[in-house]
């Protein structure tokens, strides 16, 4: 899979993705990240990419032409028109399901905005979809694009090894992950839960499932509406709820 990032700060994107698992996946050519400097597509002798907003107001707006020319160049080289995602706090909230869906693409273009945003006509002409990584405003779309690339890449076959497998983890089944422990058995008087030392596989699975349910109920109850729950899960959740009610 290849990511084409349209940005004013190509080094920021490339530097941020060249270590750890995503760096390894690039070295192994399982994924590719290309960062394209939008400024290279300006026709202005001062290499301006932004201008004042029509109608007034604070800040600058990124102009349509360099962005459209940059995208046209990507399309010309690829011989097709890949999906374009514009990173913006006004976008659809990014989640694991979207990451999995995007991982099916061979090519994905990510557009990083700056200043007060991008001329709406560029977004219209490119047929962009919009994604937000959360309800807060960052100074640019580069970090959000890196977040999306990381989450999508993990879903691409071959990026994770068996040990790093994404099969059992947070957001599978729409539940948060259970707590994890490693050696030593006791640290600062805190002991690893007995069941995890028992070697009893079925009990360990039961404990983990219950902890996942508890965590999700406490921290992200909104996820439970779409969670894949069986009868035992529902019963366990009602036990937690009634315990909570008893304890006020």
Nearest to 32 by CA among 212, 159, 186: 159
What is the spatial distance between Cα 176 and Cα 21, in angstroms, rounded to a whole number? 22
Residues near ligand ADE (CB under 6 A), total? 11
Residues numbered 60 to 89 that lie near ligand ADE (CB under 6 A) are 87-89
Query: Is the CB of 17 or the CB of 237 nearer to ligand ADE?
Result: 17
- Rounded least distance, CB 143 to ligand ADE, Å: 8
Q: Does the N-terminal peptide bond of residue 162 adopt cis geometry, omega within 30 degrees of 0? A: no
Longest Cα–Cα distance in the chain: 72
Among 7, 141, 152, 171, binds ligand ADE (CB under 6 A): 141
**Beta carbons of 19 and 78 less than 8 angstroms apart:** no
- Rounded least distance, CB 142 to ligand ADE, Å: 9
- Rounded least distance, CB 53 to ligand ADE, Å: 17
Among 21, 30, 138, 196, binds ligand ADE (CB under 6 A): 138
Kind and range of the H or E run holding 132: strand 129-132
**Beta carbons of 149 and 35 less than 8 angstroms apart:** no
Q: Is 156 in the site for ligand ADE (CB under 6 A)?
A: no
- Rounded least distance, CB 144 to ligand ADE, Å: 4
Query: Is the CB of 85 or the CB of 237 nearer to ligand ADE?
Result: 85
What is the spatial distance between Cα 248 and Cα 242, in angstroms, rounded to a whole number? 10
- Rounded least distance, CB 125 to ligand ADE, Å: 20
Strand partners, 109: 4, 84
Query: Is the CB of 58 or the CB of 190 nearer to ligand ADE?
Result: 58
Contacts of 180 (CB under 8 A, 6+ apart): none
Task: Spell out, one character per residue from 167 to 206, where the chain touches ligand ADE: x when CB under 6 A holds, - when not.
Answer: ----------------------------------------
- Rounded least distance, CB 68 to ligand ADE, Å: 20
125-to-19, 74, 75, 117, 143 alpha-carbon distances in Å: 35, 15, 13, 16, 24
First to last CA, the chain: 52
Residues numbered 94 to 133 that lie near ligand ADE (CB under 6 A) are 132-133
At 63, is the secondary structure helix, strand, or coil? Answer: coil
Among 20, 54, 136, 189, binds ligand ADE (CB under 6 A): 136
Q: Which residues bind ligand ADE (CB under 6 A)?
A: 87-89, 132-134, 136-138, 141, 144
């Amino acid at each position: 899979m290849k990511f084409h990032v349209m940005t004013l700060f190509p080094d920021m994107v490339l530097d941020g993705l060249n270590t750890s698992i995503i760096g390894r996946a690039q070295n192994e050519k399982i994924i590719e990240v290309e960062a394209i400097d939008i400024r290279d597509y300006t026709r202005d002798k001062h290499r301006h990419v932004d201008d004042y907003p029509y109608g007034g107001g604070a800040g600058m707006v990124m102009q349509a032409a360099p962005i459209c020319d940059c995208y046209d160049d990507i399309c010309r080289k690829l011989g097709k028109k890949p999906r374009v995602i514009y990173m913006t706090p006004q976008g659809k909230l990014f989640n694991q399901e979207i990451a999995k869906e995007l991982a099916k693409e061979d090519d994905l273009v990510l557009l990083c905005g700056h200043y007060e945003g991008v001329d709406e006509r560029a977004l219209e002409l490119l047929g962009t979809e919009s994604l937000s990584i959360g309800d807060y405003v960052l100074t640019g779309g580069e970090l959000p694009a890196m977040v999306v690339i990381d989450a999508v890449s993990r879903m691409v076959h071959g990026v994770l090894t068996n040990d790093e497998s994404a099969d059992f983890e947070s957001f599978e089944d729409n539940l948060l992950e259970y707590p994890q422990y490693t050696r030593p058995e006791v640290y600062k008087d805190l002991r690893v839960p007995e069941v995890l030392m028992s070697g009893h596989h079925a009990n360990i699975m039961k404990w983990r499932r219950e902890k996942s349910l508890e965590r999700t109920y406490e921290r992200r109850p909104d996820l439970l509406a779409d969670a894949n729950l069986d009868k035992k899960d529902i019963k366990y959740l009602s036990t937690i709820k009634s315990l909570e009610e008893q304890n006020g």
